[in-house]
Amino acid sequence: MAVTLSVNGQSHTVESELDTPLLYVLRDDLGLNGAKYGCGLGQCGSCTVLVDGAPVFSCVTPILLLEGREITTVEGLGTVDEPGPMQRAFIEEQAAQCGYCIPGMMMRAQALLERNPSAGDAEIRAALEPNLCRCGTHMRILKAVRRAGQLMQSAAAPGASEGAAS
């Protein structure tokens, strides 16, 4: 069945059953390999993407539910040449070890900071609770999210420009 999905601002028509989890469509049909398959049960968070700005587990979200919704994956936060503030912060803090959980962490953090770029430590910890990291880089992840918040705030500050933020 042909389904039209809006992913990272682009419209895609895919041939797929309606009960296919979004994660499979992202990875297999659209070649967006940022979101990861971890547990397949919506319990680890490595598949987290945004739907209309809210974080969801793409491994348990059938595409049936997503018609007309705006999906954002980690690829939508920036490019290799021009990483977005969340991606830059994770690179600058070297927050990844094995890296498997990181796209999910970034997406859940993105949802939080879009609502509240000045979120404090307690809010960041509470928001990221559903996402697991097995390497133990939690402290660097927290640091990276705080830095991303600062980058977003300074980018949004009056007088800030592309040049000043780089």
Among residues 19, 80, 161, 166, the one that binds another protein under rule CB under 8 A: 19
Query: How many residues are present in the chain?
Result: 166
Spell 140-157 as b/e; 16+ CB within 10 A means b: bbbbbbbbbbebbeeeee
- Binding flag, residue 137, another protein (CB under 8 A): no
- Binding flag, residue 54, another protein (CB under 8 A): yes
Count of CA atoms in the C-beta half-sphere (13 A) of 85: 19
Q: Residues near 15 by Cβ (< 8 Å), separated by ≥ 6?
A: 1, 2, 29
Among residues 4, 10, 13, 18, the one that binds another protein under rule CB under 8 A: 18
- Binding flag, residue 62, another protein (CB under 8 A): yes
* Mask for 63-92, x = binds another protein (CB under 8 A): -xx---------------------------
Return d(Cα 16, Cα 91) in angstroms, integer. Answer: 35
Q: For the sheet with 54-57, list strands across it.
A: 10-15, 2-7, 70-72, 48-51, 54-57
- Binding flag, residue 7, another protein (CB under 8 A): no
- Binding flag, residue 51, another protein (CB under 8 A): yes
20 vs 137, which CB is nearer to another protein? 20
1 vs 157, which CB is nearer to another protein? 1
- Binding flag, residue 4, another protein (CB under 8 A): no
- Binding flag, residue 61, another protein (CB under 8 A): yes
Instruction: Write down the residue that tokens 């959980």 correspond to.
Output: 101
Helices and strands (DSSP H and E) totals, the chain: 6, 5
- Binding flag, residue 120, another protein (CB under 8 A): no
Q: Which residues bind another protein (CB under 8 A)?
A: 17-21, 40-43, 51-52, 54-57, 59-62, 64-65, 122, 126, 129-130
